[in-house]
Amino acid sequence: MFGGWFASGRCAGPRRPPRTSVRVLWCLMPLLLGAALFFSPGPVAAAPTRIGMPGFEYPWSAVGRLNVAGHGYCSAVMVSERHLLTAAHCLWLASENRWWPAEAMHFVPGFQGDITLFADVRRYWVADGYGYGHGDAEGWSRDWAILELDRPLGRETGWLAAGGAGAGTVAAGDSLVTVGYGQDHRYRAGIDLGCRILSGPPRSPLIWTDCEALRGGSGGPLLAVTDAGVKVIGVVAGSSARGQGGGMAGVVPLSSMADSRRFPMAAKIVAAFPERGKAPPAGGTVPAEPLETMRVLGDAGDVPAGLARLLGRVGRDGVTRP
């Protein structure tokens, strides 16, 4: 059943299944490669452009590092003023076969080597049926968790859209982006621009993209930059490559998290996420417009068409504000 809530050391999560190999879908690689070819006919498109987070500004301020007791970290994204989404395996202490208590974790939004803002985790929920070490696509599709912070940090950082009837859907013209603290950007998030979806539901319970997935990037979001703002499509659960990562990013789609048949408890929480994102308040700690991002994108010659224009509307036109 649903993993329940974890607070003040109370951990009653799902039991750990028998240990398996590393969290890699080697048995599905022929299918994945075939799907990549099937969904990518014609000339090969340009590879995604990877940059470091240009500055502590919205919308990147809604993504941060989830630090776990000095033991390690993952990435996470704010989807309300108090709630985060991340990968469930980030919360498991494998050496002791148990879940970390909530008080062992804190979230640092827009981390760039120093801590400007942070909040502690009050409690968290692990998706129904998740078990650490499940090595198939079905197991990976349950590799996500919702965390509740001890204060409304999102009022300072802003948050990204993750609710409503169109949650997690991608439309023609949307620019896809992944953000996370992979091993190449441990102290400043890496941003992959121009991701392409290679495969996904109903063929696979995961969304597979050609953006790179690196260790530490688990829990980071796949985002769509749309005419209506920036919204969350899903969270990165792992990579198609062994060990250090670097293969295709496997993403748990937000649309599946809202499936009340698979996740009866989780769906109730996801359904309560705000339908629209919200930029930080004007004059606050976090700039509400991605001005530094726009400067960096303007200097890059291979940025996906339309992305700079769409990001330029974030904050300035108020498209992410309620």
pLDDT tens for each residue of 21-72: 334 333 444 334 344 333 333 334 456 677 888 878 999 999 999 999 888 8
Least confident of 106-115, 142-151, 177-186, 227-236: 177-186
Confidence class of residue 122 from pLDDT cuts 50, 70 and 90? very high
Q: What per-residue confidence (pLDDT) applies to 26?
A: 37
Secondary element (H or E) of residue 197: strand 197-199
Higher pLDDT, 32 or 223: 223
Tens of pLDDT along 146-190?
A: 999 999 999 999 999 998 777 778 877 778 888 988 766 567 788
- Residue 129 reports pLDDT greater than 90: no
Mean pLDDT of 272-278: 91
The total of other beta-carbon atoms located within 10 Å of residue 101's CB is: 19
CA angle in degrees (0–180, nearest 5) for 238-7-9? 95
What are the structural domains of the chain?
26-313 (2.40.10.10)
- Judge contact between 64 and 185, C-beta under 8 A: no
